[in-house]
Structure 1
Amino acid sequence: MTTILVTGGTGTLGRLVTERLRADGHEVRVLSRHAQPYAVDLRAGGGLDAAVAGVDTVVHCASSPRGGDEQAAGHLIAAARRAGVGHLLYISIVGVDRVPYGYYRSKLAVERLVEESGIGWTVLRATQFHDLLVQVFQALAKPPVMALPAGVPDQPIAVAEVADRLAELALGGPAGRVPDMGGPEVRSLESLARAYLAATGRRRRLLRVPLWGSAYRAFRAGGHLTPGRAVGKGTFEEYLAARFGSGR
């Protein structure tokens, strides 16, 4: 039986990875800021040695767009080295090397730390989760007019499918950079927003707003997409139906 540590193990992705690994009979330790007995703030690093002691594989799902990912990864990698961890698996985002967006730059920097860690490693990049799009649309739909970045496409994927792949990779050996995972369809943000509004029974006028800057140009050019790796099966409409029913 393999002992696996999942960072961010109470989050949207980490929770599902944990469930799948435990269902296969593996010992899984959940690390997050509040999950006992491995309540650890990775940015501070205290308590990490106890968390990684005796661990074979670390699945690093913890991440925050508010910053601190590089510091957190540095602490995790140092503790994993001391513990003799054999496999470090990191989930990243498609396009981190093509889109000059602050959070993406941080994810790319963590990829490099993982690759240079001296530990056997695997990196999987995925497109945005359906859940994230809904969070964005919920915020944008608060005013009567829903403003969307003009001309930006997206390729959302079901988080459960990414969790399945991560669990599979965690049970194998270090594989380096594995093929990306993208959702089944490249869609305009407008079409995705309309699907969200229909599913939630809301009426909003959509306003396409042109933005500026290198990050916006890269998103508009599809730097965050992987149409050649559209391996996801679940569509955004299927996710919406499961979450919201037939609208209201």
Structure 2
Amino acid sequence: MTVTGKTTMVTGGTGTLGRLVVERLRAGGGEVRVLSRHAPPPYAIDLRKGGAGLVEALTGADTVVHCASNPRGGDEEAARHLIEAARAAEVRHLVYISIVGVDQVQFGYYRSKLAVERLIEESGLGWSVLRTTQFHDLVLQVLSAFAKLPVMPVPVGLVDQPIDSGEVAVRLAELAAGEPAGRVPDMGGPEVRTFADLARAYLRASGRRRPLLKVPLAGRTYRSFRAGGHLAPERNVGVGTFEDFLAGRFPPAESR
């Protein structure tokens, strides 16, 4: 993967995925700009607000990798501002990271990600969209929160297919280095696992002891998750397992 001579902007470039994409792109050569609310000037921009400075920040960029996202809302507004500025700055290629199942799972954040996909497809820009399953990082965040309770709740019938964010970053960097490809094949983690199984793996790695409490779920959102709309078992191209990820986060028991 070589991007020598190209200028690439990464939105959300200080986040979990974005910083890994930045690292991969910089390793390949070329200029990489990081746009984030937490980036140094002149790239400290909140996409949800848009406004002065965004076109200037994008001017001269060949490609934008759009990793900025907020489950609490604002993604569609941010995408509109980014697309408008990208057109004005004559950006050639917009790469977007989305989620497997945004067109199947009845969940507000997923609907927003799907809406952004459609905005990009209709933008008139060259574009590539990659959907992946959930990151190991998110699963760890959820399990860590659940483990703060005396009894660890696990949703009944819920499965997941987590993937390593570093592997996703590699693929996004490849897409950024290439030509606009439209909707590319999904990326899924190497294994489909029950949530209870993932919880037990987390407890083993962290050295915590918590009884698991199976919690039945109801509602349209959980029915769509239980139906597996967020999975891509036929695209289990990820290599790193959840245990591999945990091994990098927790020291061996004998060194604790």
The 5-angstrom pairing of residues 52-67 of structure 1 reads: 52-67=58-73
Alignment correspondent of 1:122? 128
Alignment correspondent of 1:162? 168
User: Quick check: 1:103 aligned with 2:105?
Assistant: no
Contact 2:56–2:89 (CA under 8 A) maintained in structure 1: no
Alignment correspondent of 2:79? 73
Letter in 2 for 1:20: R
Alignment correspondent of 2:95? 89
Q: CA deviation at 1:24?
A: 0.8
Letter in 2 for 1:4: T
Alignment correspondent of 2:54? 48
Distance 2:239 2:149 in 1: 33
- Aligned pair partner of 2:20 in 2, 6, 16: 16
Alignment correspondent of 2:204? 198
User: Quick check: 1:233 aligned with 2:213?
Assistant: no
Distance 1:189 1:9 in 2: 30
Q: Secondary structure at the match of 1:109?
A: helix
Instruction: Output the aligned Cα RMSD.
Output: 0.7
Distance 2:217 2:28 in 1: 47
User: Quick check: 1:4 aligned with 2:8?
Assistant: yes
User: Quick check: 1:27 aligned with 2:11?
Assistant: no
Contact 2:75–2:112 (CA under 8 A) maintained in structure 1: yes
Alignment correspondent of 2:44? 39
Letter in 1 for 2:18: G
Distance 1:175 1:218 in 2: 29
Distance 1:108 1:19 in 2: 27
Distance 1:146 1:178 in 2: 37
Distance 1:197 1:246 in 2: 13
Q: Secondary structure at the match of 2:17?
A: helix
Letter in 2 for 1:204: R
Contact 2:156–2:215 (CA under 8 A) maintained in structure 1: yes
Query: Once the two structures are superposed, what CA deviation does each residue of 1:159-207 show, in whole Å capped at 9, x if it has no partner?
Result: 0000000000000000000000000000000000000011001111111
Q: CA deviation at 1:245?
A: 2.2
Distance 1:43 1:141 in 2: 34
Distance 2:146 2:131 in 1: 26
Letter in 2 for 1:8: G
Q: CA deviation at 1:246?
A: 2.4
Alignment correspondent of 1:148? 154
Distance 1:215 1:26 in 2: 43
Q: Secondary structure at the match of 1:123?
A: strand
Distance 1:70 1:149 in 2: 30
Identity %: 72
Distance 2:226 2:213 in 1: 16
Alignment correspondent of 1:172? 178
Q: CA deviation at 1:57?
A: 0.3
- TM-score scaled by structure 1? 0.99
- TM-score scaled by structure 2? 0.96
Distance 1:34 1:130 in 2: 24
Letter in 2 for 1:45: G
In structure 2, runs of 5+ residues without a counterpart are none
